[in-house]
Structure 1
Amino acid sequence: PRALGVIVGGAFTTWAAFIALVAGVLAGGGAIEFTTFLAWVVVAVFGALALLFGWWTIGIARLAYEIDDDALRIRWCGREVVIPVVDIQRVVPGRTVGEETVSGLNWWGCHIGRGMAASLGPTLFFATHNRPEDNVFVVTPGRTYGLTVPDQVAFAEACSRRLIVGFEPGEPQRVEPQGLALLPLWGDQDVWFALSFVLVALGALGGFLFSQYPDLPALVQIDFPRATGIVRVDHPSALLRIGAVGGGIVAVNLGLGFLLHARERAAGLWLLVSAGLIQAVLLGAAVVAFERA
């Protein structure tokens, strides 16, 4: 039943990638002006959306439930939700639950996130149903899980067979990250704050360069430090190197910062923040350079 979710997610991914591609073509062939900068912003935003929807679509395609003698495991987007079998109190078919609402990823064939089931209360959905009747609800002491299982009878029997044995209370329900999800940066709010600061600073630098460039004369005067007494006359595009330097610094610092964060959090954060601070310095340098040009 997940085919519809994959198709819709793939359509969203393609749509976002297409807009990013069109904007990239327009920006690449456009003049150096503020509207071109906005086109590059569209490329960045919709490119990120394409990656995000692509990741979610892969997650839908690979969504899996596995039950053994110890636990029910739900695999979703690099994470595994582990529900000890001893915690399962009952399995309820979706046709008996009533109205369902989901807040999170919620489109045709994809229902992932927190929600409500009318007769069961707060529920975590990892479902790909097309109709509410396609779902089965696993009720535990702490929470309820909504899953889309093709053979609900077999699933309920698998749970009940393991409950008959009678287990002693074991480990709690938990989420275990896997693969890239193991990196601690995903849960570090300071990383996302620093990244936002870097992107805003880089955007401010780029926006200034693109907005001021059309007003420059055909030739500009570039002053080196006054102590040298050197003055160079060049094409206005020479001033755009400030933006190129800023972009290069961001790329290097972000790469090194993400790599270092797992081993040395403080060093990783400093690299991220310093990238933003350097953008601010370059913005100041750009303002001075454009005024003197």
Structure 2
Amino acid sequence: MEVITKINEMRTKVFSVKDSKKSIGFVPTMGALHGGHISLIRSAKRENDVLVVSVYLNPAQFDNKDDLDEYPRQLNEDIELIRKEEADVVFAPGTEEMYPDGFCSYVTQDKLTDTLCGRVRPGHFKGVTTVITKLFNIVKPDRAYFGQKDYQQNAVIKRLVGDLNMDVNIQVCPTVREEDGLALSSRNKRLNPDERRSALCIYGALLKARAMFASNITDAKEIIEEMTAMIKNTEHTKIDYISIVNDYTLEDLSSINEKALVAVAVWVGNTRLIDNTILE
């Protein structure tokens, strides 16, 4: 397995792969890898000739400096985890490589970034769309792999690829959870034991929404009120948002017809966690 830190070196590797007519599967990560990342890596490994995993903590998508400073960093451990999965390349550039002095070009998107996390994290998705555009231009993957937990991010990236005619297929894989239902996240490492127990209310609220919808309750406000009460009654939590939206446009719904996305963002202590489920 090669570990590459320079863009020019990564491009040279990509040109060699493309010349040999092999497909590239790409898993972009911000490091602090967990079982969710590993599931993406394994899917990409199965479905492509060459597997590239990037590890880059992108400062441009953090709207809160403290959140960036506290984000787990474990590059050496991440590289070893990726090596065990028999990836071909780890691309781990530094910020001076990705955003050199004088960098001033950003990719922005309207509509899909105005709701959910975009509403409460100004500038976040501009950082996401910019770094993903850069990574796709550098790695030139045939397929790129993301987890459903980041539903809005996936919707934004799919639209980015379509609108800008990028030749890459976006693969969204199921959310991976702990046995008790908590969605795997690099941020989970920041929870103390009491907060970890409290965080279970997020999945519990999503299950409540599913149960209500299964009982033919389709009023979004009623479902959100029940979810809100469940989370508010749990220690160490503060709701950022609970929304029920169209699964394609991400626009708020008042009533659920055939399909909807229930998306949640909750602060547990000083850690912000997101999760979602589809009702259909």
Q: TM-score range by the shorter chain?
A: under 0.3
Structure with more relative contact order (C-alpha pairs < 8 Å, separation 6 or more): 2
Q: Name the structure where helix makes up a greater proportion of residues.
A: 1
TM (norm. structure 1) is 0.20
TM (norm. structure 2) is 0.21
| Bigger Rg, structure 1 or 2 | 1
